[in-house]
Chain A
Amino acid sequence: AQSVTQLDSQVPVFEEAPVELRCNYSSSVSVYLFWYVQYPNQGLQLLLKYLSGSTLVKGINGFEAEFNKSQTSFHLRKPSVHISDTAEYFCAVQTGTASKLTFGTGTRLQVTL
């Protein structure tokens, strides 16, 4: 079975500062990796995904993530955050043979002036 760990439950950051949200996964088979964002009272929106190929993937809203197989990590980064990035961010894993997503517990990104 696969699992996802997001060690940081909350990350406070000032506007225009860089940010990294950490995600580690565990799986005995190859995986697809995803980051989703959830704004208050809304569903989840796909930010970016890693399926194969280049380990650096770029997503929407200026976010990017790097897949590191040896460290089983898929950390999310943004070089300069905006107030509108304040939201809950979820890392998720999907194995090649299963359609369900397994999510981490989420990281609350709080951007302030």
Chain B
Amino acid sequence: DTGVSQNPRHKITKRGQNVTFRCDPISEHNRLYWYRQTLGQGPEFLTYFQNEAQLEKSRLLSDRFSAERPKGSFSTLEIQRTEQGDSAMYLCASSPRTRNYEQYFGPGTRLTVT
């Protein structure tokens, strides 16, 4: 397994701009998760996919946030009209069909909104 990869690793953007992050899960993992981690806090769940279906969304995921996993492989997380409060580490994780309780995390994308 090559591990979960995320791009970009760092993103600096100005308030009001749109940003998009990409996550490539471990091959053949059918579940993919997005979490957000702010400084000094644990990761907070945002949303997850089983194959291409988005099965759960947190209340944290406002209407400015959208996530997709069109072919059941990679996923994108888009934030529209970014706000300073969106500054955080965005983590992606994936889990295999047979052991879906085990989540493998990527290195994260650090977003800074100025």
Contact surface of A with B, Cβ cutoff 8 Å: 4, 32, 36, 41-46, 49, 51, 90, 92, 94, 98-106
Contacts and interface: CB of A to CB of B under 8 A. Distances in A.
Contacts of A102: 45
Contact of A99 (B31, B44, B106): B31
Given A32-B101, A44-B91, A104 B33 contact: no
Interface residues of B, number: 26
A31 B102 CA distance: 13
A102 B103 CA distance: 12
Given A43-B91, A90-B43, A105-B42, A99 B56 contact: yes
A106 B44 CA distance: 12
B107 to A, nearest CB: 5
Contacts of A90: 42-43
Contacts of A94: 101
Contacts of B43: 44, 90, 101, 103
B25 interface: no
Given A43-B106, A101-B35, 18 more contacts: A4-B42, A32-B101, A43-B4, A43-B105, A44-B93, A46-B103, A49-B102, A90-B42, A94-B101, A99-B31, A99-B33, A99-B55, A99-B95, A101-B45, A101-B103, A102-B45, A104-B42, A105-B42
